[in-house]
């Protein structure tokens, strides 16, 4: 769009582009009736081809920008036309509509003209057609002249049209969310409360599996420390808060029964990664992210901060000291937000900053009903056991004793000296499909047949991709290999 004009501002070029092709076509027509004019027609034809050849590099560069774009432009033209032919009551949508229709020519008509120019320009891709078009009409020059004329009249509004279409597309996406999820609610603005949510969940988790939580962070400068076991849901809760804040900032409904929040810039350090291209380790990338956070707070920016287990890339002592130092600097600069951590030392900040720091903990509850369903689904074979490399079953009759309801004869007599190999026993107690067990038995037979010994660990040969994750009778079943 910002390329300089070559032909439009040069009157001599424009005159030649009109006169020379007309003269050539006239001579070709007259040569059909007056043979002496054939030499003149051929001369003019060759002169035009020579001129096109001299300008070939420049025209090819211009064409490369637009080559085969007419289908895309026609799609834009169709979308512009839909908006232009619609009527809106919303001030925001009316503004977008006016942006596309103001001026001498509507956006759809202007884009349609550009698409036709590009389609005509693409004729140069056919060698035979291009030979006659260039020799008779200086086709490349004519297309460039038309393109420059379009750029003079329509390019000034092109970026504004695309921006308006992008805004409309974003609004359509938000409208689809509100229409397809009628249970979502719109947030309320507040000048005092940082965030108060009731039954807040993660939108990308299915309603059947979604866990809802109430949360409150009343004043700027307050911080919440969340602890809990692995897989208790700390990171998911941080993502829940972040996703709902992003939706609220975009003007969309949120996944909560109610949400009151103060519009604030969101800042997170949750998915930091290393980079070979930037020569950055994970720890260095995390330090850079934290420094950027502290610089923003030092400059007085109001932020809602989400930190997930910071300084994971160093040893425990440095991690503990560094995490505490970072939190003290954040609190000294009136930082507001949530941090999830396994470091219980940080929870002492609640005593150091009473009224500003609050400790929360995610606890785990075992659903006995779910355990019973898992036993039924596994046909009461036995307890699920983690079959990681480096572990073996204790054997012992303890496995059968652990499950008095086990009705499978295959899992009643798993002693250390039983003929069933330990690797196959692991598959049995984990509730794996029958095909896995049979494959394991065949591989064990092959190993023993060729004299590689009778002791066999399944994970050295074939580790299943996914084992059932139930733990209702696993205590005492596994022990580290000696």
State residue 195's pLDDT score: 94
State residue 205's pLDDT score: 93
Nearest to 200 by CA among 231, 245, 232: 245
Cα–Cα dist 232/340, whole Å: 11
pLDDT 10s per residue in the chain (482 long)?
Answer: 556 666 666 778 888 888 999 999 999 999 988 888 899 999 999 999 999 998 888 888 888 888 888 889 999 999 999 999 999 999 999 999 999 998 778 999 999 999 999 999 999 888 889 898 989 989 998 898 888 888 888 777 888 999 999 999 999 999 999 999 999 999 999 888 899 999 999 999 999 989 999 999 989 999 999 998 888 889 999 999 999 999 999 999 999 999 999 999 999 887 778 888 888 888 888 889 999 999 999 999 999 999 998 888 788 888 889 999 999 999 999 999 999 998 888 999 999 999 899 999 988 776 655 444 443 333 333 223 223 333 333 333 233 233 333 333 333 333 333 445 555 555 555 555 666 667 766 665 555 544 444 333 333 333 344 434 333 333 333 333 33
Dump pLDDT digits (tens) for 369-419: 544 444 333 333 322 322 333 333 333 323 323 333 333 333 333 333 344
Nearest to 233 by CA among 250, 221, 215: 215
Cα–Cα dist 216/347, whole Å: 18
Cα–Cα dist 440/461, whole Å: 8
Contact 245, 380 (CB under 8 A): no
Q: What is the pTM of this model?
A: 0.64
Contact 338, 226 (CB under 8 A): yes
Cα–Cα dist 111/227, whole Å: 56
In 278-407, which ranges are continuous DSSP H helix? 282-298, 316-332, 349-352, 368-377, 398-402
State residue 480's pLDDT score: 34
Contact 246, 266 (CB under 8 A): yes
The backbone torsions φ and ψ at residue 480, rounded to the nearest 5 degrees and listed phi first, read: -65, 150
Please count the other Cβ atoms lying within 10 Å of the Cβ belonging to residue 59: 19
State residue 280's pLDDT score: 86
State residue 151's pLDDT score: 86
Contact 408, 380 (CB under 8 A): yes
Cα–Cα dist 67/64, whole Å: 5
Please list the residue range(s) of the chain that carry CATH number 3.40.50.300.
Answer: 188-362
Cα–Cα dist 356/359, whole Å: 10
State residue 388's pLDDT score: 30
Q: Which helix (H) or strand (E) holds 228?
A: strand 223-228
Cα–Cα dist 451/448, whole Å: 5
Cα–Cα dist 241/248, whole Å: 11
Q: 359 by DSSP, 3-state: which?
A: strand
The backbone torsions φ and ψ at residue 362, rounded to the nearest 5 degrees and listed phi first, read: -90, 120
Please give the C-alpha separations between residue 190 and each of 201, 247, 259, 337, in angstroms, as whole numbers: 21, 16, 10, 16
Give the CATH architecture of domain 188-362: 3-Layer(aba) Sandwich (3.40)
Nearest to 233 by CA among 216, 213, 217: 213
State residue 387's pLDDT score: 31
């Amino acid at each position: 769009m910002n390329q300089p004009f070559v032909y439009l501002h040069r009157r001599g070029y424009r005159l030649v582009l009109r006169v020379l092709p007309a003269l050539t076509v006239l001579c070709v027509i007259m040569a059909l009736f007056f043979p002496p004019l054939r030499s003149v027609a051929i001369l003019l034809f060759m002169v035009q081809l020579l001129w096109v050849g001299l300008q070939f590099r420049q025209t090819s560069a211009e064409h490369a920008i637009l080559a085969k774009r007419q289908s895309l432009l026609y799609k834009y033209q169709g979308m512009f036309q839909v908006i232009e032919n619609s009527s809106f009551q919303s001030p925001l949508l009316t503004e977008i509509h006016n942006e596309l229709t103001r001026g001498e020519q509507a956006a759809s008509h202007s884009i349609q003209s550009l698409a036709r120019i590009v389609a005509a320009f693409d004729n140069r891709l056919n060698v035979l057609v291009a030979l006659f078009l260039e020799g008779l009409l200086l086709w490349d020059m004519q297309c460039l002249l038309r393109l420059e004329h379009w750029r003079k009249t329509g390019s000034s509004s092109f970026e504004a049209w695309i921006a308006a279409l992008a805004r409309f597309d974003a609004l359509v996406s938000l409208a689809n969310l509100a229409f397809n999820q009628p249970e979502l609610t719109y947030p309320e603005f507040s000048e005092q409360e940082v965030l108060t949510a009731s039954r807040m969940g993660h939108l990308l988790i299915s309603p059947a599996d979604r866990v809802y939580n109430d949360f409150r962070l009343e004043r700027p400068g307050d911080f919440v420390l969340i602890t809990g076991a692995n897989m208790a849901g700390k990171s998911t809760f941080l993502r829940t808060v972040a996703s709902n804040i992003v939706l609220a900032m975009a003007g969309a409904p949120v996944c909560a029964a109610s949400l009151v929040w103060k519009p604030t810039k969101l800042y997170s350090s949750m998915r930091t990664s290393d980079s070979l291209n930037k020569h950055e380790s994970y720890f260095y990338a995390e330090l850079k992210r934290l420094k950027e956070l502290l610089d923003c707070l030092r400059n007085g920016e109001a932020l809602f901060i989400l930190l997930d287990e910071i300084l994971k890339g160093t040893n425990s002592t440095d991690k503990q000291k560094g995490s505490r130092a970072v939190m003290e600097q954040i609190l000294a600069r009136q930082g507001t937000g949530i941090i999830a951590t396994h470091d219980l030392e940080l929870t002492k900040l609640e005593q150091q900053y009473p009224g500003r720091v609050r400790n929360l903990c995610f606890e785990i509850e075992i659903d006995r009903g779910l355990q019973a369903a898992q036993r039924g689904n596994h046909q009461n074979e036995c307890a699920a056991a983690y079959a990681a490399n480096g572990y073996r079953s204790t054997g012992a009759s303890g496995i059968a004793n652990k499950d008095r309801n086990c009705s499978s004869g295959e899992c009643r007599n798993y002693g250390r000296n039983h003929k069933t190999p330990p690797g196959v026993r692991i598959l049995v107690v984990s509730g794996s499909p029958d095909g896995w067990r049979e494959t394991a038995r065949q591989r064990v037979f092959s190993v023993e047949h060729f004299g590689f010994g009778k002791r066999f660990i399944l994970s050295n040969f074939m580790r299943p991709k996914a084992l059932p994750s139930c733990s209702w009778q696993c205590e005492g079943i596994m022990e580290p290999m000696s």
